[in-house]
Amino acid sequence: MDLEKYRQTAESFLSRLDKEYYLHFAGLKEELNTSVIYNENSWLFDRKNFDDLKELKDNEKCTDGKTKLFNLLKFCGEGFIENQVKELSDSIAEQEAKAVIKLNGEDVSYRYSEILLSNEADKDRRDEIDDARNDIVKKEFNPKLFQYWKELHNQASLLGFTSYREMFAYLKGEDFNNTLLQMEILLSRTRDLYEEHFGKLLLRETGVELKNARKSDFAKLRRADSFDRYFKKELLVSIFKDTLMAMGIDVSRQSNIIFDVEERKNKSPRAFCSTVKVPGEIYLVVMPRGGQDDYEAMFHEGGHAEHFSNTRASLDFEHKFLGDNAVTEGYAFTLEHLMQSSHWLSSFLKMPADEVKEFVYLSSIIKLWFCRRYAGKLKYELSLHDGTRIEGKENLYKEILSDASMMQYLDAEYLKDVDEGFYCTNYIRAWIFEAQLKDYMHRKFGYAWMKQKKAGDFLREIWSYGQKYNPSEILDQLGYRELDVDYLISSITENIIKNK
């Protein structure tokens, strides 16, 4: 097997694929044509390449060499199964981009309706929007999504795995049961805290009691429009740049980061960072809608952009483009969670002390909601992908997610609210990683670390390694034994109790 040719072609493939995703999900191109890119590079995902890479990995003695081969094997395995559904995947994305729902007799794009939902103050009106969204998911999206997931499950079997779950536990080198156990600890230890404080906050901000709440009510709570005067849309980019500048990082000199913050009709409401070339061409994409969630999205995706734009160009392809994505998600959360820093809120947004306290309380509860939701997602996805039939798992989705969030989830999104490759574990492990990284930075640089050039130098240093090391290896270098959920639980609990 010609490994050098494989690496070069794989890098070119991912570059073209990310550019295609950027153009489509940024609303610059209606059609998503990944199938053309897959077809031109289909040899990358031959079964023989998968078997050859597995054999090379198993026989490799060098630790770094084994890590790189492990990353290539994961790339090949994912590509193998995704290559079989490329046309269906394009069709699903195009269908969503073109989909419209009827609201008050007017056509509204499905993607834009999510923004309307978060800005709608009236509970009945929110329910109408949510019902319309769920209706189109059930009637139009789910038939194709069912085909999509069923075929991915079939392809995992063709690679010799008993299930999609087993395949990704192997390819990611993760113990999913251990991750679930840690999140069940979080669910148990935060249950009373969450019920009391989330319920109180939801009632105060939306007028909805927790027992009567739907998932869509969270969209309004998270919008937090009472704080809009501090989170001005027109200052979004400049405050991000000012924050980095305070750490000695001059974003204006980073020509490799391209900002895309324009509003477009078919632009995805989900912010993203597109790594077309690492570190040379990085797109930071946010759909502006006003408020704190805009800033949250910008800083999260900005964390990705800074990570990859500071990655050493000399690193091997496997360490720049591949690796454990819990690393880059952890760096993204490091900047995003400045939203829970009283020092950042007062220094950069000039928020008064009493409102800082109130906002940190709200932001920390929102973070807890997400942690509990992803604990539920992991539990559900482990069942969805366990090798048994997909049919009939609508109720399981509804029950598990409703229990974790204590809000009513409907069953419509049981196939849509699922990320490929158990990406949910990347977020979970990243939250834990970030909590421990933050603990280190607090002790090393103080709670106002975001105003310290030494902290910026430290971040640029760890960013420069791309994804050569996984979270446990990075934490080991910082003096921690392993990923420990106690740091995450303590961080959230302390912020809620201290600011209630």
DSSP string over 413-457: TTTTS--GGGTHHHHHHHHHHHHHHHHHHHHHH-TTGGG-HHHHH
Model pLDDT, residue 140: 95
Mind listing the pLDDT tens digit for each residue in 204-243? Answer: 999 999 999 999 999 889 888 899 999 998 898 899 999 9
Model pLDDT, residue 348: 97
Categorize the per-residue pLDDT at 322 as very low, low, confident or very high, splitting at 50, 70 and 90: very high
Categorize the per-residue pLDDT at 65 as very low, low, confident or very high, splitting at 50, 70 and 90: very high
- Name 421's Cβ contacts closer than 8 Å, sequence gap at least 6: 78, 168, 171, 172
Model pLDDT, residue 399: 97
**Is the pLDDT confidence value at 288 over 80?**
no
CB 135 within 8 A of CB 222: no
CA–CA distance, 147 with 380 (Å, rounded to integer):
19
**Strand residue runs (E) in 271-423:** 272-277, 281-285
Higher pLDDT, 465 or 106: 465
The full 3-state SS of 30-76, as one line of letters, equals: CCCCHHHHHHHCHHHHCHHHHHHHHHHHHHCCCHHHHHHHHHHHHHH
Model pLDDT, residue 291: 87
Residue 488: closest CA among 477, 470, 475, 500:
475
Mind listing the pLDDT tens digit for each residue in 350-387? Answer: 999 999 999 999 999 999 999 999 999 999 999 999 99
The pTM assigned to this predicted structure is 0.93
Mind listing the pLDDT tens digit for each residue in 251-274? Answer: 999 999 999 988 887 788 778 999
Higher pLDDT, 412 or 289: 412
Buried b (16+ CB within 10 A) or exposed e, 19-33: bbbbbbbbbeeeebe
**Is the pLDDT confidence value at 494 over 80?**
yes
Categorize the per-residue pLDDT at 152 as very low, low, confident or very high, splitting at 50, 70 and 90: very high
H-only helix segments in 159-265: 164-172, 176-206, 215-223, 236-246
Q: Please, what are the domains in the chain?
A: 3-161 (no CATH), 176-499 (1.10.1370.30)
Mind listing the pLDDT tens digit for each residue in 445-456? Answer: 999 999 999 999
